[in-house]
Amino acid sequence: MRRIELLPPRLANQIAAGEVVERPASVLKELLENALDAGATRIDIDVEEGGVKLIRVRDNGSGIPKDEMPLALARHATSKIHQIEDLEGVVTLGFRGEALASIASVSRLQLSASDNENGTGWRVETEGQDMAAMVSATAHPRGTTLEVHDLFFNTPARRKFLRAEKTEFNHLEEVFRKLALSHFETGFSLRHNGRNLHQLKPATSELEQDRRIASLLGSVFVENAVRVEVAIGDLRLWGWMGLPTFSRAQADCQYFFVNGRVIRDKVVNHAVRQAYRDVLYHDRHPAYVLFFELDPRMVDVNVHPTKHEVRFRESRQVHDFLYRSLHRAIAEITPASATPAAQSGMAGQAPLSASEIPFGANANANVDHSGMLLGASSAAYIPSGFVPNPSALPDQAAPQQTVLPIGIGGSWQAPRRDSGNSYRAMAGYQALHPLPEQSPENTLTPSVREGEIPPLGFALAQLHGVFILAQNQNGLIVVDMHAAHERITYERMKQTWAEDRLRSQTLLVPIGFAVSQREADLIDEMPETFTRLGFRIERVGPESLLVRDVPALLAECRVESLVRDVLGDLLVHGNSQRIEEHINALLGTMACHGSVRANRQLSLMEMNALLRDMEATERSGQCNHGRPTWVSLSLKELDKLFLRGR
């Protein structure tokens, strides 16, 4: 055996560099975090050859006094924490005090700084095996400039693992993007090989923040995202979440920040994935830029050398808050919020009034819709809960001014001659899609007021028995009637099921199986959780369970596999949505088979009723399988298709 000896300082720093300096992007991350911690409001970055030849970061932060310059490049020297209590509530991005020392050991590093306004500053460099710091005077404005030349010049084994210049710069630009997204109050600039790529001004208003996100992630993301902000106690979640229809093939547009620090965390990822679970297309990934703020003492950031991971003290509470906030925000995405242009009209064009919306191809024709009903006769019964005043049903000789029912208890004033047939046509939609009982006070609140144009407009026609064509204030709306009706039916079935909660069914023959002792302990620790989920499980041994009751809807499923999945979720995340997932899958299948099919002819009244239900239904923008239920084409887009105005 060789003798035990202390490692030389440079070798020790190079070993540490292997943990925090993976590539040029890692260097930029450490330098930007130091600049932000120094209170910089402006940071300029110059990069050459993907960061391998040069990374220069200049900021206007607080700077460094002369007597502290040598310590800045010393290992385990920092101004950010001084005692163990500081580590329990870290509020800065960096705190380990080894980044600059590690970077200096594998590159040629120069540090210039000034803590005054008279233009005088100091420069420090390290040299030799002991990495002795050499300090000299220099001219420098208030702030700090760090230059990293020739990364890994003295560690060829690390340098040969670097990729092509373009690849390394892509990684470096992604780090820049994350830090620029997390600190809107700071201005950033990025130059690569002398070419300006980003010039970001400080963004304090929502409009300026939208512009910064658009410049970094593309305007398409901003156009397909909604802003969310939820605060409960010390927990606050805000940011931008992409519409479910704006899903991605890869998880390449997901940015989650905890107290300003970009992180990857399995609790967070699981909560976000669960919130989007019911609206995403198969194997797609949501897009979002979300900021989570909480008491620094409730999160441990000292769990990974690169500070990419955190550990929450109350992970179950955090998971529940994130899931419920995002799930509620997705449910509140309505056609009105998804089509903001529909609320203001097209530029340069007067908004349409309700009387100008054509209800049919020929408004003066006395069209008989009774032949287009879905299994209902012309004399079908119209439930009183659907029509505001059934006794006021007009006959064939009624005047031209007619009240047309739209949605639950809604009405729209429009000239119409075939009013009697139109009222009877509504019974066809009733047969297709029964509505829940409405109290008298509920039926008095219209979903669309007289003279208003609803977000999805009014139906014009049915295309090939599959799509509904509608006109709103903004242009054309195309609706997949089966997908839309499937979501409406599904949401109502879920609501009915939730009100009745999980009924249990006793198994004729109890099912017993073996589990680990840790999983078996959960049965004793969380009995109310399993009862709420509809299970009755007994622990009959140190590692043996006996299932006696299961949720009634899942009596035919593989009980053992389901219980094991639930136990696994409880161990990892502290809660489980497995039961809800299975029940929702069954309800989704039932809703799919119970919805209107293709090639079923709907009357205009039925189409309009479906549009109004979509506007009042949560998550109506996607069907149960994550497919979009409607799309819109603005008049500007239609003009572009036909080269109008050119």
Per-residue model confidence (pLDDT) at position 440: 43
Task: In whole angstroms, give the CA distance from residue 345 to residue 474.
Answer: 6
37-49 pLDDT, tens digit per residue, is 999 999 999 999 9
Which DSSP state fits 285?
Answer: B
Provide mean pLDDT across the span 316-341. Answer: 82
CB within 8 Å of 149: residues ≥ 6 apart: 53, 54, 107, 108, 109, 110
What are the sequence ranges of the domains in the chain? 9-196, 206-333
Take residue 553 and report the two structure tokens written for it.
Answer: 């809807």
- 582 pLDDT tier (thresholds 50, 70, 90): low
426 compared with 31, residue with greater pLDDT? 31
Q: Which CATH class is domain 206-333?
A: alpha beta
Please tell me whether residue 458 adopts helix, strand or coil conformation: strand
Nearest to 287 by CA among 181, 199, 188, 386: 181
State the average pLDDT for the chain. 78
137-155 pLDDT, tens digit per residue, is 999 999 999 999 999 888 8
CB 600 within 8 A of CB 465: yes
Q: Kindly report the CA angle at 477 between 475 and 481, in degrees rounded to 5?
A: 170
Take residue 183 and report the two structure tokens written for it.
Answer: 């600190």
539-558 pLDDT, tens digit per residue, is 999 999 999 998 776 777 78
- Hunting for tokens 């530029």 — which residue is that? 347
- The percent of residues in the chain predicted with pLDDT above 70, rounded, is 75
13 compared with 469, residue with greater pLDDT? 469
- 303 pLDDT tier (thresholds 50, 70, 90): confident
pLDDT at 414 over 60: no
Take residue 138 and report the two structure tokens written for it.
Answer: 């220099």
Task: In whole angstroms, give the CA distance from residue 34 to residue 96.
Answer: 11
Angle between helices 315-331 and 266-275 (to 10 degrees): 30
Amino acid at 200: L
Q: Which residues of 87-115 are buried (b: 16+ CB within 10 A; e: fewer)?
A: eeebebbbbbbbbbbbbbbbbbbbbbbbb
Provide mean pLDDT across the span 46-61. Answer: 96
Task: In whole angstroms, give the CA distance from residue 591 to residue 625.
Answer: 11
CB 80 within 8 A of CB 34: no
CB within 8 Å of 358: residues ≥ 6 apart: 460, 471
Reduced 3-state DSSP string for 598-633: CCCCCCHHHHHHHHHHHHHCCCCCECCCCCECEEEE
The CATH architecture of the domain made up of 9-196 is: 2-Layer Sandwich (3.30)
Task: In whole angstroms, give the CA distance from residue 123 to residue 125.
Answer: 7
Q: CA 545 → CA 257, 532, 553, distances in Å?
A: 41, 18, 21
148 compared with 559, residue with greater pLDDT? 148
Take residue 103 and report the two structure tokens written for it.
Answer: 């970077």
